[in-house]
Amino acid sequence: MRRLHIPDSEVELTAIRAQGPGGQNVNKVSSAIQLRFDVRASSLPEDIKTRWLQAPGNQLTADGVLILKAQRYRTQEANRQDAWARLYQLLARYEWAPKVRKATRPTKASVQRRLQGKARQSLLKASRRQREM
């Protein structure tokens, strides 16, 4: 298993004010962390960049920049660690190429069973129709 590392210089961390309840303290303290990571300009291997940029629902801006907002915890340091953990979690999603599905054909026996089941159901429904008349 390859372990990828993202250098600190490629990630921009900014302390911002957290949203939500918290009383007067929430208006004074910047405990939330906004993480910005430019996937296109990063030192990640090209195959990972390509998978990440082309993935549907990849949370990237049109420029290929990931913006994460970590505000789960009350302290700035805990939110910083949470942001890094979430970044590596996303990276792990695109680290390996998905397995290519090999097309297979159903066995002759399974096709026969399916057709027999359909015929049985058809007979059952036909018998109900005749009774109703």
- pLDDT at position 22, please? 64
Expressed as residue numbers, the domain containing 25 is 8-94
Question: Which pLDDT tens digit goes with each residue over 63-122?
Answer: 888 888 888 888 889 999 999 999 888 888 888 888 899 999 999 999 999 999 999 999
SS3 state of residue 55: coil
Q: Is residue 123 part of a domain?
A: no
Question: Which pLDDT tens digit goes with each residue over 110-122?
Answer: 999 999 999 999 9
Q: Is residue 41 part of a domain?
A: yes
Question: Which pLDDT tens digit goes with each residue over 13-44?
Answer: 888 887 776 666 666 778 888 888 888 788 88
Q: Is residue 120 part of a domain?
A: no
| Number of domains observed in the structure of the chain | 1
Q: Is residue 55 part of a domain?
A: yes
Is the pLDDT score of 1 beyond 50? no
CATH of the domain at 68: 3.30.160.20
Q: Is residue 83 part of a domain?
A: yes
- pLDDT at position 19, please? 77
Q: Is residue 110 part of a domain?
A: no
Give me the residue label for tokens 């049109």.
Answer: 62
